[in-house]
Amino acid sequence: MDDLIADFVSECRDMLESLGGEIVAWEAAPHDRARLDSIFRFVHTVKGNCGFFDFPRLEALSHAAEDALADVRAGRRQPDPALVSAVLAVIDRIGEMVEVIAAGSAIPDGDDSDLIEALKPGAEQAAPAAPVAAANPAAPQGPAAPRTIRLSVDLLDRMMSGVSDLVLARNELARRLRDSSTDVAIDSAFERMSGIIAEMRDAITRTRMQRIESLFVGLPRMVRDLSAELGRQVLIDIDGGDVELDREMIEMIRDPLTHIVRNAVDHGIEPPADRLKAGKREIGLLSVSARQSGNQILIDIVDDGRGIDGKRLVDKALAAGILDKAEAARLSPKEQLQLIFEAGLSTAAAVTSISGRGVGMDVVRSNVERIGGVVEVESKPGQGTRMTLRVPLTLTIIPALTVSIGNQHFAIPRVAIEEIVRVRGDSVQLSEVGGAGLVTIRGRRVPKIVLADLLGLDSQLPTNERTLIVLKPAGGDVYALSVDRVHDHEELVVKPAAPAVMATGLYAGTTLADDGSPILLFDPAGLARVGGVRFEAQERSVRLLDEVAAVAAEEATPVLLFRDCAGARRAIRLGVVDRIEEVRGSAISLSAGRVRVQLGDDILPLEGLGELPAPDTKIRLFRLNDGQVQLGLAFSDVIDLDAIADQIIPSEVPGLVEGVTLVAGEPAELIDAHWLFAGASRMTGAPSAAPPVCRLDLQDPWVRNMLRPIVEAAGYRVVAAEADTEADLAIAWAGSAAAPASRRTLFLSADADGVANENHIYRYDRAGLLVALRDAAAGKGR
């Protein structure tokens, strides 16, 4: 807030200085419209800012002057010497109040009615007013506004360009010093110079930084206007305005942020009547916050509205021809949400002036990705939506790694690099399934992109001698980039590339090597996109590749060889392994009589742990899946991917271990996946067939909160009383006018002394209720 007040003071001073001649000229020529407009803009700007900063006295004064000048501009009033004098007096008073604010003092209470009255038609010229004094000059109520100056952006860019040249010259000098023998004194002088350049670069970079609050300041008014137009009630909460971001970046994300906020109010927050019906309060909450994470800025836009219906998005995509039925059936919930970014897809019921034309979110994502950022979406129907913008802190000087294919050099942002591995290493395995490249690095499977093939360049190395760079773009999943050679880590100056180059989608800009030769800087997300790796579909793609690989190995069963938490050598069939996860011990707990682990929005049974780990301990686990039930199996490390075709010596007792077999020439215990899932199914109540259906009056709070959990725990699928679904059982209150349609109806009595039989039970007779539920599920008593 102090910085914003400083900007306000600086702006007012600049405008007052430029208005000095305009006011005198307007006094000499009151009908000069251009000068009248300049004065009007000044008082209008002051009035608007005062409302934001809560300066009521200053706002009232500027408001009165704005009204008088508006009448003159509209032709409702003719300017006369008395009005000119009154406006001059008001502007003088505004200048005095601005100086009080600049000194860090509060504007004192005072009476400006004489100045305001002098602005009215027919008023006499007011006598000169006494100057404004600070409320308490000896003890200012706030910090004095810092000294500021205004600089053009062009000048800042020239300064940054000069520093960029310094960095390049420093890099070249460093290379020459490495290639020649120097003494300690020269090395010391070079290090000192490098430190000075770094400090200068940081200082000038700070001049380009601006509080993100300037991006947020217009949101409350926009939300207010939209809410009034759409009949909503929305409370907006803004946090993190003190986070700083490159001024140019702020302008680049202004439109995407505005569009997301408008969508939240239009599509997300429900009308008050709908919110009350859904059990929510009438006023919707929209939260906009910013925080810094490393060299990224994360902006979250969260609403508590209706959320995004992934299935509805799929239906829209099918209707628009974006997906076919086979593709739609394989989409995970996360992948369904990503459809919101498809061009031409809209969930609006009708086209309005605000939304519904199917344009916007695809443009939002492309604009954010153009500056090296990512848009993430999370949503739960009925609960709300979270949109996250991940954008780089600045686009000027970044640490990067230089790589090459043949004689062509390229750069990769260091922030996106997870690790660098040699293909010849024992922990790396390359494979190609269905035309897609895949690499397994210490048990982790990731897609592979061969840079030489992608760019159409001739590689000088065979496949097994290349280097893999594991990349993780902001907000994305990992993939491996195969290159010929890896060179130096350097700080590189990034500048925009030619439009034709940027249009390829592969590059984030251009830079210069320390010898002055041009180098293109890769956009890691763009590389993945052009290379065929869709982050939102990567998880599904890896699963499909695993299935294809399993089918291809007809004569042997693929297994993962691993060491469990106790160090034992074990194997598990690859077909039941969905993927490998890593969690902290805090995500693991003993609940409902079993060890469980939270993985995202899922809580799964967990096997393989001897005891609960410490909260900060990292635990690796297999996520196992039989098509209906998921569970976790903890392990220490993956040894290898292999296949078994030999005889399995069965275990004498049923349990976790099915038997012993030879894997890679050594004995290994084979995990009994059937036993694991049998236990998990019993504990989770996973059905082997379609569950029986029970019809309940879910509008009744007691039924919804007390009865429904018991019915669902007994294995039933609950539907609302009014649902058009065939039910095996309906439960209603005794004496109700009409019982819901079902094969059998069970009546509950609120009175413990009521008549009790197999169809009429006291509502707190838990044992009797469970027996009736079990009998109904078994088909008895119909």
Task: Say what the pLDDT of residue 198 is.
Answer: 79
Which of 266-280, 457-471, 618-632, 727-741 is predicted least confidently? 727-741
Task: Note every long-range contact of 601-607, with CB atoms under 8 Å and residues 24 or more positions apart, other chains counting.
Answer: 602/630, 604/630, 604/631, 604/632, 605/631, 605/632, 605/679, 605/680, 605/683, 605/684, 606/631, 606/632, 606/633, 606/634, 607/631, 607/632, 607/633, 607/634, 607/656, 607/676
Q: What is the mean pLDDT of the chain?
A: 78
Question: By the 8 A CB rule, do 93 and 7 touch?
Answer: no
Note the pLDDT of residue 393: 66
Cα 723 to Cα 535: distance, rounded to the nearest angstrom: 38
- What CA–CA distances, in Å, run from 189 to 120, 185, 192? 72, 6, 5
Domain 213-308+347-392: CATH architecture, name and number where available: 2-Layer Sandwich (3.30)
Q: What percent of the chain has pLDDT over 70?
A: 81
Cβ(307)–Cβ(381) below 8 Å:
yes
The CATH homologous superfamily to which domain 397-538 belongs is CheA-289, Domain 4 (2.40.50.180)
Q: Residue 385 — pLDDT band, cuts 50, 70, 90?
A: very high
Torsions phi, psi for 98 (to 5 deg): -60, -40
In the numeric block, the tokens 């349990």 are attached to: 655
The DSSP-derived string for 226-272 is HHHHHT--EEEEEE-TT-EEEHHHHHHHHHHHHHHHHHIIIIISPPH
Q: How many CB atoms lie within 10 A of CB 505?
A: 14
Range of lowest pLDDT (349-353, 433-437, 727-731, 751-755): 349-353
Give the tens place of pLDDT for each residue, 152-208: 767 877 887 787 778 778 877 887 787 777 677 888 888 888 888 878 877 777 777
What is the average pLDDT across 411-439? 74
Percent of the chain with pLDDT over 90: 4
The domain at 153-207 falls in which architecture? Orthogonal Bundle (1.10)
Nearest Cα residue to 228 out of 274, 266, 281, 267: 266
Answer yes or no: is pLDDT of 410 > 70. yes
Structure tokens at 184: 């300690």
Among 302, 300, 296, smallest CA distance to 245 is for: 296
Could you name the CATH architecture of 2-118? Up-down Bundle (1.20)
**pLDDT given for residue 81 in this prediction:** 78
**Where does 293-389 have alpha helices with state H?**
310-320, 325-330, 333-338, 361-370
Q: Is 375 exposed, middle or buried (0-12, 13-18, 19+ CB in 10 A)?
A: buried
Rounded distance between C-alpha atoms, residue 629 and residue 619, angstroms: 21
Residue 235 one-letter amino acid? L
pLDDT value of position 386: 92
Residue 737: pLDDT band (50, 70, 90) is low
Question: What number is the average pLDDT over the span 563-580?
Answer: 84
pLDDT band at 301 (very low <50, low <70, confident <90, very high): very high
Q: What are phi and psi of 288, to 5 degrees?
A: -125, 120
Residue with the larger pLDDT of the pair 355 and 109: 109
List of residues 6+ apart from 192 with CB closer than 8 A: none
Distance CA 323, CA 316 (A): 9
pLDDT surpassing 60 at residue 435: no
Best CA proximity match to 574, nearest among 622, 533, 507: 622
pLDDT top residue among 179 and 603: 603
Give the model's pLDDT for residue 690. Answer: 74
Q: Using 50, 70 and 90 to split pLDDT, how confident is the model at 344?
A: low
553-684, superfamily in CATH? CheA-289, Domain 4 (2.40.50.180)
> What is the reported pTM?
0.43
CA trace torsion 473, 474, 476, 481 (10° rounding) = 10
Q: Is the dihedral of CA 253, 258, 261, 267 positive or negative?
A: negative
